[in-house]
Amino acid sequence: MHRDRSPHRPGAAAGQAEEERSARVPPVRGSPGELLALQASVGNQAVARALVLARDRGSATGSQAPGHDAGAPSTDAGTTTAPDAGTATAPDADLETRLDAIESRYRGMVTAARADGKTVAADNLEHFLDGGGGTRTLGVPWLRGFDVVTGAERTNQGRFEKSLNDQANAMSDGETRTFTDHWHRQFTASVTTELYYASGTSTLKSTGTFTLTRAGDVVTITGTVQQHWYDPYDWHAGLGAFIPGVGAVSDADALLLERHGRAASYEMEADWTQTVSGTISIGTLWNSEEFTWSGP
């Protein structure tokens, strides 16, 4: 919000008198004592105007006030500013040096991971450093080689089985119905596995479509489940990880690279299909269930 800092003017007459009085003040060239005398007789504003007039006349004739460097530019207030010494580029140079050091360290991690046989983790980090962006599809056999992934599968399968049991309980003899459901399971890989360094925390979304048919007290079930694994390859302020042989690695470094166009986050995904068949026998107190899952 703009605030007017000009002094309050009591009226036009007073303003005119001030202008007339200052107009009579000659350019100031005297000693400090003479300036004080002038201030007492005509007022602060007139003295200030006289000083400005003296400065302007001096500029017009090529003269300058003592102590002022003729080569230094002046502001409206008469203060000087130093010539540009090129220091504005120093922070940029320091930043580039820091970015180079971070990238060099990360590229060293890629090389070390490959040497250790962790090619997927190495490929993922390299894709980030190369700024590839987009989506990378990871191999299903590689993903399902980790217990935490097949464990997520089994968690969602169990959820489907419970929902199918609820559906079976609500069916009448001779009825057939189609049922669609989906579940998400988020998990974090163990730090002792490559998946931790290739992904960290990821999610498995399971979407299933099932057909249920009841004959007497037995419900027959068939179905297909689409498994979709996904994880954004990104970084989070305040987090980090300890990498054996490297040490502590802060997410802030990766974020800095990305912010300055030296890297790019991207999506990772993988898809596979599973099928299920089974029966649910409706009981008086509880049901008897049998499911068989297969694939991929």
Q: Any bridge partners for residue 271, and if so which?
A: 228
Q: What is the largest CA-CA distance in the chain?
A: 119
Residue 274's pLDDT is: 98
Write the pLDDT tens digit of every residue in 115-164: 999 999 999 999 999 999 999 999 999 999 999 999 999 999 999 999 99
Residue 8's pLDDT is: 38
Write the pLDDT tens digit of every residue in 35-51: 555 555 555 555 455 55
Write the pLDDT tens digit of every residue in 161-176: 999 999 999 999 999 9
Distance CA 143, CA 156 (A): 16
Among 270, 296, 274, CA closest to 161: 274
Q: Cβ–Cβ contacts within 10 Å for residue 169, how many?
A: 11
Joined together, the tokens standing for residue 36 give 């004080």
Residue 258's pLDDT is: 96
On the question of a cis peptide bond just before residue 296, with omega within 30 degrees of 0, the verdict is yes
Residue 91's pLDDT is: 56
Distance CA 265, CA 135 (A): 9
pTM above 0.75, yes or no: no
CB 240 within 8 A of CB 256: no
Residue 284's pLDDT is: 85
Write the pLDDT tens digit of every residue in 53-74: 555 555 444 444 444 343 434 3
Q: Inform me whether the pLDDT recorded for 280 exceeds 90.
A: yes
Average pLDDT, the chain: 80
Write the pLDDT tens digit of every residue in 180-235: 999 999 999 999 999 999 999 999 999 999 999 999 999 999 999 999 999 999 99
Per-residue b or e along 203-226, where b marks 16 or more CB atoms closer than 10 Å to that residue's CB: ebbbebebebebeeeebebebebe
Write down how long the chain is. 296
Residue 11's pLDDT is: 40
Q: Inform me whether the pLDDT recorded for 1 exceeds 90.
A: no
Residue 15's pLDDT is: 43
